[in-house]
């Protein structure tokens, strides 16, 4: 059952935040057939600072199924790096550490939207422009109250779930 806004009143797992962590965990859980709802306060694409991702990111991209999408996007691939330490130049090749795939430099607005849409394609129910106000985790079935700002009006709502994952980044919604 869902509210008039389309946001369900219940789910197995509620994910707060649609950045890389939230979208990835939502995709992974939805891929396993778990009923996942993801609430993101902004509307993607949203401005974010660019990011360098170490080669280890491919392990998680494969797990969630996002690796082909990342390859197709054409992000800048990096085979290694150069550092200067005590006046000496050191060249580092990621292959020397056993990595078979490159590091990536991504444009976060594009990368974040790619992962969010992927989570939705995996079966996660994604709602943008929905801000979590509070979470009552002490209840037998946690309840999360939100403000739905889609469509111009602000509508209050609540969703009950078995588990809550706070992937809201530095805003740390559940931290208070």
pLDDT in tens, 87-128: 999 999 999 999 999 999 999 999 999 999 999 999 999 999
Task: Judge if 126 and 88 occupy the same domain.
Answer: no
Task: Judge if 38 and 121 occupy the same domain.
Answer: yes
Q: pLDDT-derived band of residue 49, with 50, 70 and 90 as boundaries?
A: confident
Q: Which of 106, 134, 151 is the last residue of a domain?
A: 106
Task: Judge if 92 and 10 occupy the same domain.
Answer: no
Q: Structurally, how many domains does the chain consist of?
A: 2
Q: Which of 106, 121, 145 is the last residue of a domain?
A: 106
Check if the beta carbon of residue 132 is closer than 8 Å to that of residue 16. yes
* Cα 157 to Cα 39: distance, rounded to the nearest angstrom: 12
Give yes or no for residue 56 having a pLDDT over 70: yes
Q: What does DSSP say about strands 125-128 and 36-40: parallel, antiparallel, or unpaired? A: parallel
Q: Kindly report the average pLDDT of the chain as a whole number.
A: 93
Task: Judge if 59 and 102 occupy the same domain.
Answer: yes
Task: Judge if 102 and 119 occupy the same domain.
Answer: no
Quote the pTM value: 0.91
Give the pLDDT mean for 54-59.
Answer: 96
Task: Judge if 42 and 55 occupy the same domain.
Answer: no
Say which DSSP state 110 is in.
Answer: H
Task: Judge if 43 and 56 occupy the same domain.
Answer: no
Q: In this structure, what CATH number is given to the domain that contains residue 23?
A: 3.50.50.60
Return the structure tokens found at 97.
Answer: 């550490």
Give the pLDDT mean for 119-141.
Answer: 94
Give the structural domain span for 30: 1-47+112-176
Give yes or no for residue 173 having a pLDDT over 80: yes
Task: Judge if 43 and 117 occupy the same domain.
Answer: yes
Task: Judge if 117 and 67 occupy the same domain.
Answer: no
Better pLDDT: 172 or 17: 17
Check if the beta carbon of residue 77 is closer than 8 Å to that of residue 103. yes
With b meaning 16 or more CB within 10 Å and e meaning fewer, what string describes 136-173? eeeeeebbbebebeeeeeeeebebbbeebbbbbeeeeb
Check if the beta carbon of residue 54 is closer than 8 Å to that of residue 28. no
Check if the beta carbon of residue 34 is closer than 8 Å to that of residue 124. no
Task: Judge if 7 and 89 occupy the same domain.
Answer: no
* Cα 4 to Cα 132: distance, rounded to the nearest angstrom: 18
Predicted confidence at residue 74, as pLDDT, reads: 92
């Amino acid at each position: 059952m869902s509210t008039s806004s389309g946001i369900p009143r219940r789910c197995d797992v509620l994910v707060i935040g649609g950045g890389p962590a939230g979208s990835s965990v939502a995709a992974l859980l939805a891929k396993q057939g778990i009923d996942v709802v993801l609430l993101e306060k902004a509307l993607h694409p949203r401005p974010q600072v660019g990011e360098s991702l170490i080669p280890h990111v491919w392990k998680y991209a494969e797990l969630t199924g996002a690796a082909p999408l990342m390859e197709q996007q054409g992000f800048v691939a990096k085979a290694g790096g150069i550092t200067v330490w005590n006046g000496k130049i050191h060249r580092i090749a990621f292959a020397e550490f056993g990595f078979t795939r490159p590091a990536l430099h991504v444009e976060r607005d594009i990368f974040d939207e790619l992962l969010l849409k992927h989570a939705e394609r995996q079966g996660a129910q994604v709602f943008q422009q929905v801000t979590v106000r509070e979470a009552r985790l002490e209840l037998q079935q946690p309840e999360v109250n939100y403000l739905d700002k889609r469509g111009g009006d602000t509508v209050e709502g609540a969703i009950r779930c078995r588990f809550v994952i706070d992937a809201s980044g530095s805003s740390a919604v559940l931290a208070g």
